Amino acid sequence: MGGRHRLPTTRIRPSPACGKRKRKMNNSLDAVLQTYGKVVGTSEVGAESDFFEIGGHSLLVMEVISVLRAEHGVTVPARQFLTDARAQAVAAACVAVEDA
């Protein structure tokens, strides 16, 4: 028999938890981007923007943390800025704190 045997197709569906986490990450990233722009005074902020490279400094880190908490209900530890101050990394830290 020379016919090809076909394997059944399997559809992989993302778990609801995966979708929820992605929404949290997107919301956190939006909050971080808005806050970076507001605190530093620029509209040129992207996911890869490092807070210190766009004009932020240690005193402004405290303002970012305060604005994120007050205006967006998002919490991020200050030590995150010493580890990785890119907007996407700070947003991921916010989600990790929320999930903990």
Q: What pLDDT is recorded for position 62?
A: 98
Would you kindly state where each structural domain of the chain is located, as residue ranges?
16-99
Higher pLDDT, 12 or 79: 79
pLDDT tens track for 37-87: 999 999 999 999 999 999 999 999 999 999 999 999 989 999 999 999 999
| Residues contacting residue 76 through CB under 8 Å, at least 6 positions apart | 32, 64, 65, 68, 90, 93, 94, 97
Query: Taking Cα atoms as reference points, which of 72, 48, 78, 47 lies closest to residue 60?
Result: 78
Q: Helix (H, G, I), strand (E, B), or coil: what is residue 50? A: strand
pTM of the model: 0.79
Number of Cβ within 10 Å of residue 95's Cβ equals 20
Distance from C-alpha of 53 to C-alpha of 71, rounded to nearest angstrom? 24
Q: Candidates 3.40.640.10, 1.10.8.10, 1.10.1200.10, 1.20.58.220; correct CATH number of 16-99?
A: 1.10.1200.10
Q: What pLDDT is recorded for position 24?
A: 83
| Per-residue pLDDT band at 2 (split at 50, 70, 90) | low
